[in-house]
Amino acid sequence: MSTESALRIVWVYPDLLSTYGDRGNLLILAQRARLRGVPVQTEEVRTDQAIPTGADVYLLAGGEDAPQTLAAERMLADGGLRRAVEHGAIVFAVCAGYQLVGSTFAARGRQYAGLDLYDLSSDRGPSRAVGELAGPVDPELALPLLTGFENHGGRTHLGPGVRPLATVSVGVGNDGQTEGAWTKGFIGTYAHGPALSRNPALADLVLRWATGRDSLEPLDDTWHDKLRNERLTALAARGKNVPPGRRQSGPVATS
Ligand code: GLN
């Protein structure tokens, strides 16, 4: 649908950046908005298209090193995402997309310039981080435990302009201690799964920012909870230290 008042969600470069079900982030976000009566317009902007500057939310997904470097080159040349962020657009970025919005990232044996939109940078870690990722979210966001799947060689270092999204209980995330980053209007995470399916409260945070609403009507999250609980139960069964907070549903946070 396309109306003047619709919430515009843009997925940037799905032809280069899309791994482990990241498309689901677009579907979940759009559906959770529509279920609250918010009209939504979704757009998939491919590498050979200009990034529009007037959308409300921009999604960036994961990718292997080669497509990631190409995406960085195209995004820097395009400049549209920077202009959108300067106009207040919201960014939800996963893995390669998360690394790309920082100042630099490592791929194929060297450092590449990122978009430098947020105060973070990435280099290479001693080993690949592959597997489940879980941990409590920054209490300031009042969200349930973060869960996801990670697969990355990079490690991410945060500056004072952003806060860690979560602390790591299982997995590696940024550096084995913290996972992801956020500041008002931006969430970066290493969590695939897709992240917004495994963490629908995170989707609702993005929607609250995008709509300016303090709270959103609760939805039936039975299936999200089943998915979360299945993954977290599997971790607990493997002796992993999974903190409480399995169910994500409950009162919708207002922060
Ligand atoms: N290429 C990046 C890395 O390995 C990101 C990987 C991903 O997006 N899954 O760190």
Examine the pLDDT at 245 and tell me if it is beyond 80.
no
Go through the domains of the chain in sequence order and give each one's CATH number. Answer: 7-237 (3.40.50.880)
pLDDT band at 246 (very low <50, low <70, confident <90, very high): low
pLDDT digit string, tens, across residues 167-180: 999 999 999 999 99
In the residue annotation, 192 being an active-site residue is answered as: yes
Which residues in 89-126 are b (16+ Cβ under 10 Å) and which e? bbbbbbbbbbbbbbbbbbbeeeebebbebbbbbbebbe
Is 85 a residue whose pLDDT tops 50? yes
CA of 197 to the centre of ligand 1 (A): 20
pLDDT over 90, % of the chain: 85
Ligand 1 atom nearest to CA at 20: 9
Dist CA 33 CA 48 (whole Å): 28
Q: Ligand 1, atom 5: nearest CA belongs to which residue?
A: 96
- Alpha-carbon distance values, 53 to 50, 83, 221 (Å): 9, 6, 33
Q: Beta strand pairing status for 163-167 and 57-60?
A: unpaired
pLDDT of residue 254 exceeding 70, the answer is: no
pLDDT given for residue 193 in this prediction? 87
CA quadruple 45, 200, 206, 32: dihedral sign? positive
Comparison of pLDDT for 229 and 103, the residue scoring more: 103
- Which residue ranges are tagged as binding site? 128
**Could you give the CA distance from residue 247 to residue 167 in angstroms, rounded to a whole number?**
18
- Pairwise CA distance, residues 251 & 142, whole Å: 10
Q: Which two tokens stand for residue 21?
A: 């079900």
pLDDT in tens, 29-47: 999 999 999 999 999 999 9
**Pocket perturbation via mutation, ligand 1, pick of 17, 100, 101, 151 by most ligand atoms within 8 A of CB:** 151
Q: The whole model's pTM is what?
A: 0.94
Residue 175: its pLDDT value, please? 98
Looking at the predicted structure, is the pLDDT value of residue 12 above 80?
A: yes
Mean predicted confidence (pLDDT) in 114-126: 97
